[in-house]
Amino acid sequence: MAQKPSIPKGTRDFSPTEVAKRNYIFSTIKQVFEVYGFQPIETPSFEKSETLMGKYGEEGDRLIFKILNSGDYLKKVDDDLIASKDSLKVTTKISEKALRYDLTVPFARYVVQHQNELVFPFKRYQMQPVWRADRPQKGRFREFYQCDADVVGSQSLWQEVEFVQLYDAVFSKLKLIGTTIKLNNRKILAGITEIIGAKDKLIDFTVALDKLDKIGAEGVTKEMLSKGISEEAIHKVQPLFQFNGSNQDKLNQLQNLLEASEEGMQGVEDLRFVIANIESLGLQSATLELDVTLARGLNYYTGAIYEVIAPEGVKMGSIGGGGRYDDLTGIFGLHDMSGVGISFGLDRIYLVLEELHLFDEVALPKPKVLFINFGELEAAYCMKALIGLRNKGIKSELYPDSSKMKKQLNYANKRKIPFVVIVGENEINNGNYTLKNMQTGKQKVCTLEELLKITA
């Protein structure tokens, strides 16, 4: 016998139950996106290589999956180049297309390409798979979905307020209570940079500061010193070592600390606006937390920076993130288009909902009613009833073969079908149906009308 087939590493098959649970997350996010005025777009799975290459750094370029040209693709390649076996250079000759690496660059390409058809500010959402030739590991895949919402064409801080509300709305709808939405602003980080007098040390600085809980002020100071941050600089930002209290307290501390930095003060003002409005409008189930160590995608973001953390007790870390970027479409020649956007980490959200048993109420894609098949006459009688059930949207089916009753009931049990309808000569003569509740084992003779009612 042939060897059992398998799939490429880092990819996954999804069973019906997994598809249903994933769709539950997708459709919840989608619903909230639309309620917030976002519209869906879709872009091709592969783009021209020139669209993607060089947009994600050297590491990113390496991780992009390239598609081989069709036909006799080697024919036109220079003999010497081929003989050199220089994979990098040969690639540009034998591959013109590449699989989408994220949704952001294709979105930027879309906006530039279709700029004359779009109404700005343009609010779009996109939920599509992306591919990365990463080393597969727990929770990291070579094919996975991204769920993004972005607005381009406005610098309004109201949108930064709205994305916090949107996160809260999605996670509340998913019954994932107790998430923390972390907020920072690139301008705050720029201000700190100014204060410590070292633009290039910012990441070292925030990474060290982030360890305060674990290694204490002394440990953090030691790490900062080892990274070449001067004692004087560390002294200047000492308040960040006791950075706590309410968001308002933190804002006041930042205001004092960053007084000397114009950009830093602008960051404080922006954060004040977002935080004050969120506090006045209220959130359903999330907590908004100002976190100056939040620096994700630092090279990229220019204003707000978001990250969502799973409820306490769930070891998962970030389940979403985003921020404002001032020149997204600039890479394709369209400048002065400020954008702000967020992303949901589908696979991680899935794991969290699974761990907290929050999928329990998701309707699985299985029939509610199975009609037992005793033969042609009985089956034909059942088919008439099936039409009635299906017209009412009740998921139902006839067992296709007139196999032994035991086999058919087994099928119902294995698929966890809650109702079974049994039709024999008696039922046909009397024009009714015997309905068996598979959980209680109880049977009841009923009319079609009753059948429709009970199984609805």
The interface region with a copy of itself, picked from 194-202, 212-220, 245-253, 277-285 by CB under 8 A, is 277-285
* Annotated binding-site residue? 146: yes
Spatial contact of 194 and 202, defined as CB atoms under 8 Å apart: no
* Annotated binding-site residue? 390: no
* Annotated binding-site residue? 132: yes
Interaction between residue 430 and a copy of itself (CB under 8 A): no
Site track 79-108 with a copy of itself (rule: CB under 8 A), x = hit: x--xx-xxx--xx--xxxx-x---------
- Single residue of 148, 270, 397, 427 touching a copy of itself by CB under 8 A: 397
* Annotated binding-site residue? 350: no
Which residues have CB under 8 Å from 251's CB, separation 6+? 268, 271, 272, 275, 290
Spatial contact of 342 and 163, defined as CB atoms under 8 Å apart: yes
* Annotated binding-site residue? 266: no
Interaction between residue 447 and a copy of itself (CB under 8 A): no
The interface region with a copy of itself, picked from 151-159, 354-362, 424-432, 448-456 by CB under 8 A, is 151-159
* Annotated binding-site residue? 301: yes
Spatial contact of 195 and 257, defined as CB atoms under 8 Å apart: yes
The interface region with a copy of itself, picked from 185-193, 257-265, 306-314, 376-384 by CB under 8 A, is 376-384
* Annotated binding-site residue? 137: no
Least gap, CB of 199 to a copy of itself (angstroms) = 28
Token pair 């907290």 is at which residue? 356
- Single residue of 379, 421, 446, 451 touching a copy of itself by CB under 8 A: 379
* Residue among 222, 164, 234 nearest 192 (CA): 234
Least gap, CB of 85 to a copy of itself (angstroms) = 4
| Full DSSP string of 331-352 | GGT--S--EEEEEE-HHHHHHH
* Annotated binding-site residue? 296: yes
Closest CB to a copy of itself among 12 and 222? 12
Interaction between residue 306 and a copy of itself (CB under 8 A): no
Closest CB to a copy of itself among 7 and 313? 7
**Contacts made by residues 397-405, CB under 8 angstroms, sequence distance 24+:** 397/367, 397/369, 397/370, 397/371, 398/370, 398/371, 398/373, 399/370, 399/371, 399/372, 399/373, 400/373, 401/373, 402/373, 402/374, 402/375, 402/376, 402/378, 403/373, 405/372
Which alpha helices (DSSP H) does 64-103 contain, by range? 79-84, 87-94
Least gap, CB of 168 to a copy of itself (angstroms) = 11
- What's the gap between Cα 413 and its chain centre? 34
* Residue among 107, 119, 97 nearest 50 (CA): 97
Site track 340-359 with a copy of itself (rule: CB under 8 A), x = hit: --------------------
Least gap, CB of 290 to a copy of itself (angstroms) = 20
Q: Could you give the C-alpha distances from 39 to 25, 193, 328, in angstroms and in order? A: 18, 38, 19
* Annotated binding-site residue? 100: no
Closest CB to a copy of itself among 142 and 348? 142
Q: What are phi and psi of 27, to 5 degrees?
A: -75, -30
Interaction between residue 70 and a copy of itself (CB under 8 A): yes
What is the rounded CA–CA span in Å between residue 397 and residue 229? Answer: 70
Which residues have CB under 8 Å from 402's CB, separation 6+? 373, 374, 375, 376, 378, 379
Spatial contact of 320 and 202, defined as CB atoms under 8 Å apart: no
Spatial contact of 209 and 193, defined as CB atoms under 8 Å apart: no
- Single residue of 68, 217, 454, 456 touching a copy of itself by CB under 8 A: 68
Closest CB to a copy of itself among 213 and 376? 376
Closest CB to a copy of itself among 55 and 201? 55
- Single residue of 102, 143, 269, 289 touching a copy of itself by CB under 8 A: 143
Closest CB to a copy of itself among 390 and 453? 390
What is the rounded CA–CA span in Å between residue 42 and residue 342? Answer: 17
Interaction between residue 156 and a copy of itself (CB under 8 A): yes
Interaction between residue 285 and a copy of itself (CB under 8 A): no
Interaction between residue 31 and a copy of itself (CB under 8 A): yes
What is the rounded CA–CA span in Å between residue 154 and residue 221? Answer: 40
Interaction between residue 66 and a copy of itself (CB under 8 A): yes
Binding footprint of a copy of itself, residue count (CB under 8 A): 110
Interaction between residue 137 and a copy of itself (CB under 8 A): no
Which residues sit in the known binding site for L-histidine? 102-104, 132, 146, 150, 296, 300-301
